[in-house]
Structure 1
Amino acid sequence: MLFAVSGVTTDPWIPPLVACAVSFFTSMGGISGAFLLLPFQMSVLGYTHPSVSATNQVYNIVAIPSGIYRYCKEGRMVWPLAWAVVLGTLPGVLIGALVRVTGLRDPHSFKLFAAAVLLYIAGKMVRDLSVSRHAAQPGPANAPEGTSTATVTRGSPATVTVTGCTLQRIAYTYQGETYTLPVAGVFLLCFIVGIIGGIYGIGGGAIIAPFLVTFFKLPVYTIAGAALMGTFVTSVAGVAFYTAIAPFYPHLSVAPDWFLGLLFGLGGMAGMYLGARCQKFVPAGVIKWMLVIIMAGTALKYILEFFA
């Protein structure tokens, strides 16, 4: 089957099947899976136009709501954190989208950029895994923001309770332990990450998940929903932006391939719902190591292709 906008020729069942498998695992870590679908589209399907970024974001729009619904239903959505992520990444994503169209049109250079992003995320996850045993220990009463301040209570409910939300900090409890984080720090980090995400075509919120776990010592079970919400909102803005500027680049494929993105999204919808439902039964370390291996392998492949 030929997809006219992207020029991709593939069987219509392949995009939803790949998206379902990818999103099932990545959604457990608060990542939509778009960062893995992009190299699949570029390397396997041969889709290297700038519009691949917008198509990736169409996938996010269709797929993510099912995962968000599941996290909300289970009481594991930290809404103040979700909106902080959205407000921080949104302007950055728009800047990144403009850079993608005006400064990174060459797919050869874009692959090297994608490899750098993937390696950086993988490195952050490895660091988080190396300190996870220490982060799990209860901190002192005057622990810095982003660290735990209470001992986990055996039998505590696996739901989130927001205990404080101001312009300075957000605080919530999960399984008897309290976590705090500075709003300004989250906003600045999300803005920077949003620029990278806008260039890479993953909405911005996707990359923020490992940063929240590493920098602010937050449990992956509580940030997944917020990160997905950030990815969803910023992806809507990203698709709107790419569509709006497409007429200014008539000789360049900028607008998304809606049908291809929809097929990816339908598969991702099923995968994210199942992933969000199963997340609490899977050790966080297993999820992170799996993502590290996939991201590092993809990045190394891109680096070898760049210097070949």
Structure 2
Amino acid sequence: MIGLFIAVLAIVSGVVGALVGLGGGIILVPALLYFGISLGYIDDLTPQKIVGLSVVMMIFTGLSSTLSHIKAKTVDYRSGFIFFMGSVPGTIVGAYINKKLNVEAFELYFGILMIILAIVLLVRDRLKPVQWFVNHGYKRVFTDKEGKQYTYGYPIWFAILATFGVGIISGMFGIGGGSMIIPMMLVLFLFPAHVAVPTSMFLVFLTSIVNSYAHFSLGHIPWQYVIPVSIGALIGGKLGADLNKRFSSKTIVLFLRIMLLVMGIRSIVSSIL
């Protein structure tokens, strides 16, 4: 029963994560914190094992989503690998920081992070694009199916530095980093939205492989739950990627803002009481 429940959580996480490019960990981690630790429905879960399970899930969510987007040719592989260069050392540092966090500290910091991410999601559509980064950086050009051309770009040093910070947070809390990097891609680097989400999921896939190895070496992977999470993530990632092509993600993002605020507040309160 527990395996089936975790698989369902992974499907939901994969759908939402792939739909808006967040990777899914932002759903799975607070859900497992609540059901597994706060309510005690799942035995032997710690913040470290939850993060380890989340990063394994994101390998399959990212892979499933990326494979789906390959056909549409909307993945910017070069940018993905450049961002990956910064993320790799960041995820390793984050995994070692995670090792030192107890339940109360993890819930407090994770709650604060969720509230910050909810605010970022709230204001990201209202922020005005910044042309400076494109003018002073590595430029890319994308032409969509209608023949419309988009020019975007970034200073490589800045992208690597920024993704290093994103990698630390990803390694600490088991989230894909898309919730942080997509606003940066859209507002600072002027990525077209239909390139930003697939490229973010490609980065989630690459980063999660390194992240999983780091947590594996620290003994943070609860192997008994890996199979249901992997199957659920593959299904959810494929469904989310398909929905991303067909529907606007505004409703999902609105729901996500509310959920992040509620779960963030709950996590902070739980760490204090």
Give 1:288's aligned residue.
253
Give 1:173's aligned residue.
142
Give 1:41's aligned residue.
32
Letter in 1 for 2:197: A
- Of 104, 108, 115 in structure 2, the residue corresponding to residue 108 of structure 1 is 104
Structure 1 residue 52 corresponds to structure 2 residue 50: yes
| Counterpart-to-counterpart distance in 2, 1:172 and 1:229 | 18
Give 1:218's aligned residue.
191
**Shift of the alpha carbon at 1:182?**
2.3
Verify the 8 A CA contact 2:22 2:179 in the aligned structure 1. Answer: yes
User: Percent of counterpart pairs with the same letter?
Assistant: 20
How many equivalent residue pairs?
262
In structure 2, relative to structure 1, the CA distance for the partners of 1:212 and 1:262 (3 Å cut) is farther
Give 2:70's aligned residue.
72
Q: Deviations over 1:249-269 (max 9, x none)?
A: xxxxx3301231321121121
Q: Deviations over 1:207-239 (max 9, x none)?
A: 422332343343332112221222222221122
In structure 2, relative to structure 1, the CA distance for the partners of 1:220 and 1:262 (3 Å cut) is farther
- Of 190, 198, 207 in structure 1, the residue corresponding to residue 171 of structure 2 is 198
**Shift of the alpha carbon at 1:194?**
0.7
Letter in 2 for 1:93: T
Structure 1 residue 184 corresponds to structure 2 residue 149: no
CA RMSD in angstroms comes to 2.3
- Partner of 1:76: helix, strand, or coil? coil
| Counterpart-to-counterpart distance in 2, 1:128 and 1:226 | 18
Give 1:228's aligned residue.
201
Letter in 1 for 2:245: K
Structure 1, unpaired ranges of 5+: 2-9, 148-166, 246-253
| Counterpart-to-counterpart distance in 2, 1:304 and 1:279 | 34
Structure 1 residue 21 corresponds to structure 2 residue 9: no
Letter in 1 for 2:260: M
Verify the 8 A CA contact 1:190 1:205 in the aligned structure 2. Answer: no
| Counterpart-to-counterpart distance in 2, 1:116 and 1:146 | 31
**Shift of the alpha carbon at 1:93?**
0.4
Give 2:224's aligned residue.
259
In structure 2, relative to structure 1, the CA distance for the partners of 1:213 and 1:168 (3 Å cut) is closer
Structure 1 residue 117 corresponds to structure 2 residue 113: yes
Letter in 2 for 1:80: R
In structure 2, relative to structure 1, the CA distance for the partners of 1:179 and 1:286 (3 Å cut) is farther
**Shift of the alpha carbon at 1:15?**
1.3
Structure 1 residue 269 corresponds to structure 2 residue 234: yes
Structure 1 residue 82 corresponds to structure 2 residue 70: no
Give 2:40's aligned residue.
none
Verify the 8 A CA contact 1:204 1:234 in the aligned structure 2. Answer: no
Verify the 8 A CA contact 1:124 1:214 in the aligned structure 2. Answer: no
The TM-score with structure 1 as length reference comes to: 0.78
**Shift of the alpha carbon at 1:81?**
1.3
Structure 1 residue 126 corresponds to structure 2 residue 160: no
Larger Cα-atom Rg:
1
Structure 2, unpaired ranges of 5+: 38-44
- Partner of 1:294: helix, strand, or coil? helix
**Shift of the alpha carbon at 1:242?**
2.3
Give 2:267's aligned residue.
302
Give 2:132's aligned residue.
144
**Shift of the alpha carbon at 1:270?**
0.9
Letter in 2 for 1:283: S
The TM-score with structure 2 as length reference comes to: 0.87
Letter in 1 for 2:239: L
Verify the 8 A CA contact 2:103 2:271 in the aligned structure 1. Answer: no
